[in-house]
């Protein structure tokens, strides 16, 4: 009997061992170092005959698990990272167990449930769904969603210029102009991937002391442009500071100039889940396309992005994949014609489990609580010696730096300070930059984070500062 057949016969014991390891990891995550200094794996040879799942799990528990980050836990504040809730973890385990491939309908309920959950998310965000509203698809994350956004507006540009870009190529595409003030790096990468060029956009001036674009500057830029097709990339939650652009005013300009409006709301779209913060993202419902992530504030496991558009015909023209073996009369959407990948995991299932388990109120509480914690840390930093905020805390991002004076080594010392803070093992931060000043940022999006964690984070900031000062004195 092969090892695979032996494993299958022993499946209950294998899954029980995996369950125990997972529970041990999760229950201990709050007490373990938030990040691990071990970033390499000892060289290993591929065995001729496998050892079986039980022994592989033992190796994982001893050699790998101790060196994983605590990104699922309460004080991992790098990037914008959620931590899987119990419901989403259960959904993700079931996703692996049932192993559905939902892009092509006709053999299971998976495509229909995918469509249903996209509608549930649209409802959560207060967006119209369906024929006269938004629809779309799950993606691997914000880059995948922004890639679909760029593909859509590239297709739209082609139509404006009487070109079939998807079929004929974009090598000599001209006559368009893209405008943005703070485009995310993934948006620029997406433009490069669809042949429009990472640097091929007009930079719009920002508001003084803000990352958000100046509406007056955008108005002037659009009026001065002679392009036949115009695209505006706006942001609901800019990554460095959590700033928001005036989406209603921008949408007005786009309507006046016949421009496409793409909104990057990777985490900021979730502001619409709360009456306290919804006004920040007012106007996003007027966009032509929207990007967001479920593995950020919805706290489902990686990977789970979402792309929404009012122009499904453009998306499906750009992404269409046809072959005789894919033909079906099933009424469910064919997500193979809305996505880059023709093979996908059942990403809708952890989302469905989460929304069903916790409802609108649960998501709202998660958003509001993490925003309150970000505000609390911001208040602490304003009173801490040796630290200063670089920008107001508008939502869930705290951008700050150590105060070292304006000597030319300041940026290097900011990096050293962040590394000293992370080395405490109590918190994990990532770099931030605003107005030419380098610092560090804390992004609150994990459902586990509680008020007592702010005390631990503040202690880590003090310890990191003390460690750096002592090293400097030595």
The CATH number given to whatever domain includes residue 447 is: 3.90.1150.170
The reply to whether 22 falls in a domain is: no
Our CA dihedral for 452, 458, 461, 462, rounded to 10 degrees, sits at -120
CA dist 342 and 319 (Å) reads: 10
The reply to whether 4 falls in a domain is: no
Residue ending a domain, choose from 294, 320, 345: 345
Residue ending a domain, choose from 304, 321, 345: 345
Higher per-residue pLDDT: 462 or 474:
462
Q: Are residues 138 and 222 in the same domain?
A: yes
Residue ending a domain, choose from 297, 317, 345: 345
Q: pLDDT tens across 148-157, in order?
A: 999 999 999 9
CA dist 34 and 67 (Å) reads: 10
Mean local confidence (pLDDT), 456-462:
96
Whether 73 contacts 447, CB under 8 Å: no
Say if residue 277's pLDDT is above 50.
yes
Mean local confidence (pLDDT), 273-300:
98
Say what the pLDDT of residue 170 is: 78
Domain total in the chain: 2
Categorize the per-residue pLDDT at 471 as very low, low, confident or very high, splitting at 50, 70 and 90: low
Categorize the per-residue pLDDT at 33 as very low, low, confident or very high, splitting at 50, 70 and 90: very high
Q: What are phi and psi of 406, to 5 degrees?
A: -105, 25
Say what the pLDDT of residue 26 is: 94
The reply to whether 300 falls in a domain is: yes
Q: pLDDT tens across 371-426, in order?
A: 999 999 999 999 999 999 999 999 999 999 999 876 666 788 999 999 999 999 99
The reply to whether 91 falls in a domain is: no
Say what the pLDDT of residue 425 is: 95
Categorize the per-residue pLDDT at 474 as very low, low, confident or very high, splitting at 50, 70 and 90: very low
DSSP 307-376: EEES-HHHHHHHH----GGG----SS--GGGTSS-SS---THHHHHHHHHHHHHHHHHHHHHHHHHHHHH
Residue % of the chain over a pLDDT of 70: 98
Mean local confidence (pLDDT), 50-69:
94
Helix (H, G, I), strand (E, B) or coil at 249: helix
Mean local confidence (pLDDT), 330-346:
92
Mean local confidence (pLDDT), 80-85:
95
Q: Are residues 78 and 107 in the same domain?
A: no
Say if residue 229's pLDDT is above 70.
yes
Query: Residue 173 sits in which domain range?
Result: 100-345
Say if residue 41's pLDDT is above 90.
no
Distances (CA, A) of 381 to 234, 369, 376, 433: 30, 19, 9, 17
Say what the pLDDT of residue 324 is: 84
Say if residue 84's pLDDT is above 90.
yes
């Amino acid at each position: 009997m092969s090892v695979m057949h032996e494993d299958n016969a022993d499946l209950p014991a294998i899954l029980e061992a995996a369950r125990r390891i997972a529970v041990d990891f999760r229950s201990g995550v709050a007490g373990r170092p938030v990040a691990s200094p071990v970033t390499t794996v000892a060289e290993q040879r591929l065995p001729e005959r496998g050892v079986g799942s039980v022994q592989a799990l033992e190796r994982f528990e001893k050699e790998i698990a101790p060196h994983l980050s605590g990104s699922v836990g309460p004080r991992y504040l790098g990037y914008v990272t959620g931590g899987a809730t119990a419901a989403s973890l259960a959904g993700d385990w079931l996703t692996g167990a049932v192993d559905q491939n939902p892009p092509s309908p006709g053999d299971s309920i998976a495509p229909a449930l995918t469509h249903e959950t996209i509608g549930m998310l649209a409802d959560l965000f207060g967006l119209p769904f369906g024929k006269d509203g938004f629809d779309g698809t799950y993606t691997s994350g914000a880059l995948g969603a922004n890639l679909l956004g760029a593909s859509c507006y590239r297709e739209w540009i082609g139509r404006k210029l009487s070109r079939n870009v998807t079929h004929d190529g974009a090598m000599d595409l001209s006559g368009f102009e893209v405008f943005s003030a703070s485009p995310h790096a993934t948006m620029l990468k997406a433009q490069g991937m669809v042949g429009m060029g990472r640097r091929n956009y007009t930079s719009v001036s920002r508001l003084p002391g803000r990352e958000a674009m100046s509406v007056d500057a955008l108005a002037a830029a659009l009026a001065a442009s002679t392009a036949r097709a115009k695209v505006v990339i706006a942001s609901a939650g800019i990554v460095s500071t959590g700033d928001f652009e005036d989406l209603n005013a921008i949408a007005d300009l786009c309507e006046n100039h016949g421009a496409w409006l793409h909104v990057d709301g990777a985490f900021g779209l979730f502001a619409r889940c709360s009456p306290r913060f919804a006004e920040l993202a007012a106007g996003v419902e007027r966009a032509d396309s929207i990007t967001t992530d479920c593995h950020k504030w919805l706290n489902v496991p990686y990977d789970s992005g979402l792309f929404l558009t009012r122009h499904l015909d453009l998306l499906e023209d750009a992404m269409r994949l046809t072959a005789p073996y894919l033909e079906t009369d099933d009424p469910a959407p064919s997500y193979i014609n809305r996505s880059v990948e023709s093979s996908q995991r059942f990403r809708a299932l952890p989302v469905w489990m989460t929304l069903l388990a916790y409802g609108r109120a649960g998501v709202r509480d998660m958003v509001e609580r993490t925003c309150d914690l970000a505000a609390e840390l911001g208040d602490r930093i304003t009173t801490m010696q040796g630290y200063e905020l670089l920008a107001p805390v508008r939502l869930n991002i705290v951008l700050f730096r150590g105060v070292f004076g304006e000597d030319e080594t300041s940026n290097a010392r900011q990096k050293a300070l962040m590394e000293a803070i992370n080395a405490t093992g109590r918190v994990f931060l990532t770099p931030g930059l605003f107005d030419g000043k380098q610092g560090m940022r804390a992004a609150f999006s994990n459902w586990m984070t509680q008020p007592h964690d702010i005390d631990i984070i503040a202690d880590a900031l003090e310890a990191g500062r003390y460690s750096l000062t002592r090293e400097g004195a030595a």
